[in-house]
Amino acid sequence: MVVGLAATDRLILAVRHRVFMQGLHRAFAVVAVGSLITHVILQIMRGRVAPASAFLPFGGAGFAIGLGTVASDLMILVAATGAFRGRFVGIKWPWLWRVLHVMAYVSWPVAIVHGLTAGRSAVGWVTMCYVGSLAAVALALLVRLVVTVGPKDGPVAARPANIGRKAEQIRVDDVFDEEFWVTLRKEVRR
């Protein structure tokens, strides 16, 4: 989540750094979904949960396991919206992608509660890792909010001149604009 928050920053990061962070965010997402699928399969194979409990929350497996199912279902939704983000560009409601992708903010804390309450008691270092990740995401979210909605003549001097203007309508043809790619290549070379 921290890398995803950093990948959206247009005011501080150069284009090449944002592209790198977006790639890193996608790579972490693939690893996270792969780990989630492995976790669920192993729990089913060990007989700790029924196969139906992997998809249907609170289906008799207990509250903590149900929270894990809710978190995993939301995480799969978030990963799917990330994988199919380009499909949302040309639809009637382009904001729908962001609404669905923001479900990560719901999935993640639910997964943390599941991790702390399901199965055996968490040892101290595991609990500290959870606390550390909560603090890191809270700090990254705070920084993003301050930079995005902060004072216009604050510490970020490199703000583009069009901040605060109404966004222009983006057409699908504009997404593949040659000028953008030329500018991106020049920025990456620098």
Q: What is the pLDDT of residues 80-92, one digit of tens each?
A: 988 888 888 777 7
How far apart are alpha carbons 159 and 149 in whole angstroms? 12
What's the mean pLDDT in 38-58? 91
Count of domains observed in the chain: 1
Whether 43 and 49 have beta carbons less than 8 Å apart is answered as yes
Domain of residue 140 covers 2-149+158-189
Token pair of 42, please?
């192993």
How far apart are alpha carbons 166 and 52 in whole angstroms? 47
Q: What is the pLDDT of residues 72-125, one digit of tens each?
A: 999 999 999 888 888 887 777 778 888 888 888 889 899 999 999 988 888 999
How buried is residue 104: exposed, middle or buried, by Cβ count under 10 Å (0-12/13-18/19+)? buried
Question: Residue 55 carries which DSSP code?
Answer: T
Whether 116 and 65 have beta carbons less than 8 Å apart is answered as no
What's the mean pLDDT in 3-23? 83
